Amino acid sequence: MSSYFWEARALIEGAALMHNDERKRSLELAINIANVQNAKNPKRSVKSAEKAISKAENQITGNKPTTNNKPSLKALERLNKAFGGDS
C-alpha cells in the first residue's frame, strides 16, 4: 500500500493522539478511584461525580432537565376533551 507523506504523517499523529487520550482516561480513572477510596462516604462521592458529569453533558448538548414532569389537571382535562373523553 502506498500513501503520500502527509497521509502517513497524519496516521502516525492520529495514533500518537489516540495513545495520549488513553493515558488521559487512565489518569482520570485513577484520580476518580483515589477520590472514592479516600471519601468519607464513597456512595455520595460517586453520586456527586455522576451529577457533575451529567451537568456537563447537559451544558454541551443544551438539554435542560425538566423539573416538573407531572401534567397539571387543566392539561389533563384539555387532553381528555381533545380525544373525546367525558367532560
Task: Report pLDDT digits (tens) over 19-64.
Answer: 888 888 888 888 888 888 887 887 777 788 778 878 877 777 776 5
Report pLDDT for 63.
Answer: 61
Whole-prediction pTM value?
A: 0.44
Total tally of structural domains belonging to the chain: 1
Range of the domain at 74: 5-82
62, part of any domain: yes
87, part of any domain: no
CB-based burial label for 39 (10 Å; 0-12, 13-18, 19+): middle
71, part of any domain: yes
15, part of any domain: yes
73, part of any domain: yes
pLDDT single digits (tens) 53-69: 788 777 777 765 556 66
Measure the CA–CA gap between 65 and 57, rounded to whole angstroms. 11
30, part of any domain: yes
